[in-house]
Amino acid sequence: MLNTETPSPRHPDLDSYPTGQLVQAFVDDQLDALRAVQAAAPALARAVEAALPRLQAGGRLIYVGAGTSGRLGLLDGVELTPTFSWPPERACALIAGGPGALMKAVEGAEDNASQGAADLQQLQPRAQDVVIGLAASGATPYVLGALQAARAAGCLTIGMANNPGAPVCTQAEIGVVLDSGPEIISGSTRLKAGTAQKIALNTFSSSLMVKLHKVHGNLMVDLQATNAKLRRRALALTQRASGAAPEAAELALAQAGGQVKLAILMLRRQLTAPAAKTLLERHAGHLRAALDAA
């Protein structure tokens, strides 16, 4: 039996616990998710290094999963745009059963390998693309079908699963095993298996965004200020990175069209918005390099 399906020996009387003990048991069990990702860190690093040149060449991140795994893939991709200004058309997510499966389970959809391949092919995959297959069991046919089609198209394939030796990992170019073990409620992989996938996806995509110069130091300098909270954050980031007074930072942001990275460069190098934009483009969006340029 798969580790993720094996009943946990830790809490055989879970249904008899008082509320405080019950909650503590669920919380403590999540620690296994963190340990699983810690053990997978070298594989995640390999995945980042392999994906980076593909994305630098204009490739897309394509997430493929079923159920919880599919929803987690979509979540990771969607959040890249407001956080890092990643183009939304370069973060695609496929879920078994289609968009309707986001809100309601579609029975049997995950068992259809040919549909996984067809859905992937509909995106017209190319060699620059990075396809991430997600499955707690590691044997979901829909995901395996998509991975097979991705490999045939020359994409980089990365498999993330919660069982050692899982086909999703062995059939991908890079396998990331997140061995989180049995669930506290047997087979409910929306629990720590899902948590492990969420941590791993956060780590993978955020590391890529740092490598793509969308972070300066540890500051989120490529965010999209689409609401009042984010506009306040953009102003605070501009002030922190430039040392400018609030009024000067606000003016620079306005002239930069809300682009934090550009406003920082304008203030630090005393440049107009067009000159700062030219300098930043010359250094492929790398703010540190632009600031240090002669």
Is 79 catalytic? The answer is: yes
Give the confidence band of 108 by pLDDT, cuts at 50, 70, 90.
Answer: confident
Between the alpha carbon of residue 70 and those of residues 94, 97, 134, 169, 223, the distances in Å are 7, 10, 7, 16, 25
Q: How far is CA 138 from CA 26, 101, 158, 166, in A?
A: 23, 19, 12, 5
Instruction: Report all structural domains of the chain as residue ranges with CATH numbers, in order of start.
Output: 14-211 (3.40.50.10490), 228-292 (1.10.8.1080)
Among residues 110, 173, 183, 250, the one annotated as catalytic is: 110
The confidence band for 36, taking pLDDT boundaries of 50, 70 and 90, is very high
Provide the percentage of residues in the chain whose pLDDT is more than 90.
96
Residue 93 has pLDDT above 80, yes or no: yes
Q: Is 110 among the catalytic positions? A: yes
Condensed to tens digits (0 to 9), the pLDDT of residues 128-137 reads: 999 999 999 9
Between helix 192-211 and helix 41-56 the angle, nearest 10°, is 40
Per annotation, catalytic residue among 79, 89, 183, 250: 79
Rounded to two decimals, the pTM is 0.95
